[in-house]
A and B are shown apart, each in its own frame.
Chain A
């Protein structure tokens, strides 16, 4: 199964098990950094994440929450269904950023120079032998 298929299928499977109770949203330490989420109904925010995993439309507030995810994992211990909410959020984030060839709903900060940059730092901090053996 390709990663894209897994995101779609497993994401949908987890969405089916999700009741959108909002406990994950309430436990999340990042809601204060996501515009409007702290004031919103947690169940509505979670419902939008669930919808995205099903390939359906997600609300602006739900997208703000997904976009603010920093993988704190507080959602997992809060979920009464014992779902891997952190993985759900990961898949939702990937979908929202266009991983499945959909229109990106969240921006992705492309860092085109990333590879050359880390290699540049490697030349600063590692010897030639270390670079030859370790890279």
Chain B
């Protein structure tokens, strides 16, 4: 990769990608690559061993323990900045984890970091992406981190991309929250689809991973494309990627669509009992 001049000094940090972004290795890899390319040496850390505890909120002791372990792990890195991806993790750190276990680092969202270093980022975005993009926005994280504005601004750096924004952001902080309330996720998807028709958009751009995993299935039977904001940046940078989750989720037979060796790598039992049912889940609309 060519050396890129960074107007801001190189800094080191931890990139805390959370847990469920592991479904989207392409997004994780591309995000880490963009951080490196703009001069942030951020070691990705995540998965169940770095959980924020949001999956165990019915048990305060377990939630506290998971949070304490994660904060301690980040303190042990010696880095004074943790870059987040997931809004649940980010809010958990501020609301629950750091108040319980003193954090020796500040927390910032990846969109803030990339926007701060937009001069370096802009130099990477060399290819036109002639898409009409509706941004899938939620209201909940915006007061904490202006993520809707930040992603909009990042997308506007992409040559040839037309960005449309619907009048109102969707409720919730991301789609995993809506999925837990009967009817809510379907209503969100129907609103987005109607907005795409209204604005003539051909691409739905997700911000967060749980939104992406729910939205990719909207492509089935529709002449639309669903991409994450990082995918769009990568396309403009000319970086190759494959949305593996979308490939499998939208396959007629996810098992048959696996690459050679994937079933052995995952484990037949894990795939059959835990992964395949999710991949075969019908879209809500």
Chain A interfacial positions (CB closer than 8 Å to B): 1-4, 6-7, 29-30, 33-34, 67-68, 70-74, 76-77, 86-87, 90, 93-94, 97-100, 104, 108-109, 111, 113-126, 130, 133-135
B143-A77 in contact (CB<8A): yes
Instruction: Flag if A123 contacts B265 (CB, 8 Å).
Output: yes
Convert B92-119 into 0s and 1s, putting 1 for each residue whose CB lies closer than 8 angstroms to a CB of A: 0001100110000000000000000000
Within 8 A of A (CB), among B249-283: 258, 262, 265-267, 270-271, 273-275, 278
Tell me, in angstroms, the Cα distance from A93 to B54 when the chains sit together. 12
Question: What count of chain B residues pass the 8 Å CB interface test?
Answer: 63
B59 within 8 A of A: yes
Instruction: Report the bound CA distance from A114 to B250 in whole Å.
Output: 22
A-B pairs with beta carbons under 8 Å apart, 16 shown? A3-B60, A29-B171, A70-B140, A70-B184, A73-B142, A73-B173, A74-B171, A86-B140, A94-B58, A94-B63, A99-B60, A115-B48, A118-B48, A120-B271, A124-B275, A125-B24
Also in contact, A120 and B270, with CB within 8 A (given A33-B182, A134-B46): yes
Binds A, one of B25-33, B70-78, B127-135, B197-205: B25-33
The main secondary structure of chain A at its interface with chain B is helix
For residue B95, which residues in chain A have a CB less than 8 angstroms away from its CB?
87, 90
Contact among B24, B28, B184 for A33, CB-based, below 8 A: B184
Contact B47 A30 (CB under 8 A): no
